[in-house]
Amino acid sequence: MRVYFPKRFIIPDSPNGPVRDVVDRLTVHADKPEVTVRDMIAGFGQTSFLPVMMAAALLVVSPLSGIPLFSSVCGLSIAFVASQMFMGRDHLWLPKFVMNQKVSGTRLCGALRRITRGADWLDERAKRRMLFMVRGPMRKGLEFMCILCGGAMPFLELVPFSSSILGLAVLLISTALLTRDGLFAATAAVLMAAAAMVPVTVVSAMAG
């Protein structure tokens, strides 16, 4: 079964910034005993690619990343969304096994409460700058970076902090594309480089 959502790249006007808006939309489902990925994505309605990718990235950097295989599911979601953005698809599709993944409403509520302040911090500092980083070929480059980040997460499941760093990079890229903040995009590139060094450092320490 395929689930499609109309293509939109911006979140409708909200009293909050785009990152906090995504957190608030996820929080709506936190009163349920169990929340599926399908529930969370459906809450965005017509706001599709970037908000959905941002939601997955937010969940990776939240305490929920401690749940076994949770980072892998979020990473695959990011990779699927980013690859469809990169290819210029008109509708978003996610596989059924991803859509049916569940998390308890209590854990989701607690995790979202912890990242609310960080979401507000990003919204307060995001602004239009370094526009060359989020336009034309550079935009495609950022989308490809998100594909790499999401695709790497399942392989880094057991490496401490690496998935969270990659999730933060995707979060910054999503925010950069929504707010046209090239500085956030550049920061994400630095974070990707840092994430690449984590497994190298861990392996070196184990070998030494």
Q: HEC string of the chain?
A: CCEEEECCCCCCCCCCCHHHHHHHHHHCCCCCCEEEHHHHHHCCCCCCHHHHHHHHHHHHHCHHHHCCCHHHHHHHHHHHHHHHHHCCCCEEEECHHHHCCEEEHHHHHHHHHHHHHHHHHHHHHCCCECHHHHCHHHHHHHHHHHHHHHHHHHHHCCCCCHHHHHHHHHHHHHHHHHHCEHHHHHHHHHHHHHHHHHHHHHHHHHHC
- Domain extent for 197: 3-207
Give CA separation, 208 vs 102, 155, 160, 205, in Å: 40, 22, 18, 5
What lies within 8 Å, CB to CB, of 85 at 6+ separation is: 49, 50, 53, 143, 146
pLDDT of residue 202: 64
Give the number of other CB atoms < 10 A from CB of residue 128: 10
pLDDT of residue 2: 40
pLDDT of residue 10: 43
Backbone conformation region of residue 130, classed left if phi is above 0, alpha if psi is from -120 to 50, else beta: left
pLDDT of residue 93: 86
pLDDT tens figures, 92-110: 888 998 899 999 999 999 9
pLDDT of residue 128: 94
Q: For the chain, how long is the longest CA-to-CA vector?
A: 54
The low-confidence residues of the chain, meaning pLDDT below 50, are 1-13, 46-47
Determine whether 130 is exposed, middle or buried from the number of CB atoms within 10 Å of its CB (0-12, 13-18, 19+): middle
pLDDT of residue 137: 93
pLDDT of residue 15: 62
Count how many domains the chain has: 1
pLDDT tens figures, 59-94: 999 988 888 889 999 999 999 999 999 998 888 888
